[in-house]
Structure 1
Amino acid sequence: MQKSTFSVNFFIRRTRLGKSGETPIMMRISVDGRYTELSTQRRVPVEQWSQSRCCATGKTAVALEINRHLDNLRSKASEAHQNFLAEDGYVDPYIIKEFLLGKHRRQRLFFEVFEEHNARIASLVGKDYDRTTYHRYMLCLRYFREMMAKQTKAEDFPIRNLSHEMVRDFEHFLKTKKRVALNTMIRYMKCLKKVVNLSLANGWMTVNPFAGIKYAEKKVIREYLTMPEVNRLREKEFSIQRLEMVRDIFLFCCYTGLAYIDVHNLRPENITEDAHGRKWIRKQREKTDVEFYVPLLEYPLQILAKYKDHPLCKERGTLLPVYANQKMNSYLKEIADFCGIKKQLTMHIARYTFATTITLANDVKLENVSKMLGHTSTRMTQHYAHVMNDSLAREMDRIAPLVDCVPKKE
């Protein structure tokens, strides 16, 4: 339990002298250098008040009743100070004032509220939230604990005391100690802000520590492969089997849009056949549990056939022998060097390539691309998709006969 300074004093308001010559008696509660004041609901003649002793003078019944009332208030305030400090490890004068006025509700603690919020998010994963969002909230909570552990020994603190300064401190902590990029930092701050908004709505906080703080994410240019680069990968012959296998899986994702975790867990039951004999991938995204459908072109079907008897596939019951993501990305760097591709290949670039080069650049509608990627809105798909010069050129070629003709002279 932390140490805390505490005092109670009584004084009169000489400026509020009534017609009867009496003035109100006020109570001042001070805790750790902060104070608040409230009325004692008692009045006393100015000449019958001793400021040095903080009490009414004389032996009259009125004076005795006033002093008993003041002693009772002092005792209640002192007891409240000790109890709040023992139970919560923290107390301020405003809490004691609310207690004396009968308005006190148990103060909510920051980490307690954050943990309750995250538990609620966990129960809604797959319904309203994906696992990535849940993990981001958990990391935000963990990082805030780490920051506070360097500043104080207290295990928790009242959420009403979360200040503007603490918000700025957390920004600095994320940038310097965790070395996160600007957009990642903003996502963590949005997690914290959501907990703050929840607390403001419930009356657990009265001051918004995010007031005046605005964030602007840096626009990220998503890397993707052009069709010549895709063909260069397809045509390259590898003498190293592991590189050939990783290349094939990467290209499978380029032609299907699957994210790493989805291709890693792709199983025979995820392949369906429609009434026309066309094969489809029908699966729920591991990240969001949103169902998606992708028709399989001839090339990805060839890749599936190539690895159907691979020992790793038989062992796992999967369709492709996918390594760990870190290992896949490491091998992709080697593959890029062999193929003369200057871009830093990762498994997720395959998904961007599907959205941009394979589909949108070939006039597949954005709405259809969105469904194949398992997005819940086209706004999400727009982050993946890029307008390519070839697509722009085709559009301009289409309208050229309409606008580029030379007008006949009259």
Structure 2
Amino acid sequence: MQTSKTFTIHFWLSMAKAKDDFAPIYARITVDGKRAEISLKRSTSVTYWDTRSKRSTLRTSDGKALNVYLDQVYSDLLACHKQLLGESKYVTAQAIKARYLGEDEQHKTLLQLVSYHNKNMVSVLKPGTLKNYFTTERYIKRYLKHKLKTNDVFLKQLSYKFIIDFEQFLRNGKSINRSQPLKNNGVMKHLERLKKMMNLALRLEWIEKDPFVRFSLKFTKHQRAFLSQSELEVLESSQLSKGMHQKTRDVFVFACYTGLSYIDVKLLC
């Protein structure tokens, strides 16, 4: 386990920002001589600030409340340092600051994961596939807003219950692109995309457990109808009155003979 040679925390007033005897309070974290500072979003009287104890000397309720708050911040920063050591992480002042502010990997959120995935997959996924991920993102945001009454959740909060509740939301809620609810395979595709993003979170070490571990994707198999050779020939030889219909027919026939997908043909046009 990695240990630090020195680790200190102390509070100080920014005199450069002082106004009318009040100055903002900062916490300074020092690890092996390197510093990181955090604005505590609090101000106090310079006159009643004890530079030795780093606390307010005011005996009013406000002064006492401020000291209680500073004690809590001190305790929380110590806890962050202890957590990083317990996780065998490389401990720096910046790492402690990030953990305290919720900006490190332990505090990544679901929408941060979705955004990271979609940005990094631009050059990997085909446009049509990436478009589907953006649709899944819209469903996730809708679920968070209307069902969980929040804008985001920490990844470590996700559980099996989150997955099955999201599944029911997709099944029973209004479809984004249609008036009717999603059918089973549509629901499964959105869950499949979310599962792939959770696998990415595991590889990035943003989560320790996969919330999908006990969940099974269940697609409904369909027997797809296809054209026979004679039916395709009839389509080829048919006389269509509108130019747009002719173009659509020609593109379809081209795809039949080449085996290209819709999105590949679309990119050629």
Tell me the TM-score normalised to structure 1 length.
0.37
Look up the match of 2:233. Answer: 231
The one-letter amino acid paired with 1:169 is D
SS in 1 for 2:206: coil
RMSD: 3.3
Distance 1:195 1:96, change over 3 A: farther
CA contact (8 A) 2:160 2:214 kept: no
- Contact 2:143–2:169 under 8 Å retained in 1: yes
- Is 1:79 matched up with 2:73? yes
SS of 2:187's equivalent in the other structure is helix
Pair 1:185–1:80, CA change in 2 (3 A): farther
Distance in 2 (CA, whole Å) between partners of 1:261 and 1:205 is 34
How big is the shift at 1:160? Answer: 0.3
1:251 maps to what in 2? 253
Instruction: Determine the structure 2 residue equivalent to 1:158.
Output: 154
Shift of 1:80: 7.3
**Mapped contact 2:114–2:137 kept (Cα < 8 A):** yes
Q: Equivalent of 1:99, from 53, 63, 80?
A: 80
Contact 1:76–1:100 (CA under 8 A) maintained in structure 2: no
**Residue 115 of structure 2 is aligned to residue 115 of structure 1:** yes
Q: 1:115 Cα deviation (Å)?
A: 0.9
**Secondary structure in structure 2 of the residue aligned to 1:101:** helix
Gaps of 5+ in 1: 1-73, 82-94, 267-317, 319-410
Change (3 A) 1:102 1:241: closer
Say if 1:174 and 1:76 are closer, same or farther in 2 by CA, change over 3 A: same
* Corresponding letter in the other structure for 1:79: V
Q: Deviations over 1:314-359 (max 9, x none)?
A: xxxx7xxxxxxxxxxxxxxxxxxxxxxxxxxxxxxxxxxxxxxxxx
Write out aligned runs for 1:2-401 (5 A): 78-79=72-73, 98-99=79-80, 101-103=82-84, 105=99, 106=104, 107-122=107-122, 124-125=123-124, 129-177=125-173, 178=175, 179-238=181-240, 243-263=245-265, 266=268
| Deviations 1:104-123, CA, capped at 9 Å, x for gaps | 7432122112211221111x
Measure, in 1, the Cα distance between the counterparts of 2:263 and 2:200.
33
Shift, 1:137, TM fit: 2.1
How far apart, in 2, do the equivalents of 1:190 and 1:101 lie? 37
Specify whether residues 98 and 108 from structure 1 end up closer, same or farther in structure 2 by C-alpha distance, changes over 3 A only.
Answer: farther
1:239 deviates by 5.2
Secondary structure of 2:214's match? coil
CA separation in 2, counterparts of 1:180 and 1:252?
31
Amino acid at match of 2:160: H
Percent pairwise identity? 27
Relative to structure 1, the CA distance from residue 230 to residue 143 in structure 2 (aligned partners, 3 Å threshold; closer, same or farther) is same
Say how many residue pairs are matched: 177
Does structure 2 conserve the Cα–Cα contact (< 8 Å) formed by 1:109 and 1:159?
yes
Q: CA deviation at 1:145?
A: 0.7
Q: Is the 8 A contact 2:192 2:217 kept in 1?
A: no
TM-score, normalization by structure 2: 0.54
- How far residue 263 of structure 1 moved from its aligned partner, in angstroms, is 4.5
Q: Is the 8 A contact 1:77 1:96 kept in 2?
A: no
Deviations 1:275-325 (A, max 9, x none): xxxxxxxxxxxxxxxxxxxxxxxxxxxxxxxxxxxxxxxxxxx7xxxxxxx
Taking structure 1 as reference, are residues 258 and 212 closer, same or farther at Cα in structure 2, changes over 3 Å only?
closer
Q: Is the 8 A contact 2:128 2:263 kept in 1?
A: no
Q: Is the 8 A contact 1:118 1:134 kept in 2?
A: yes
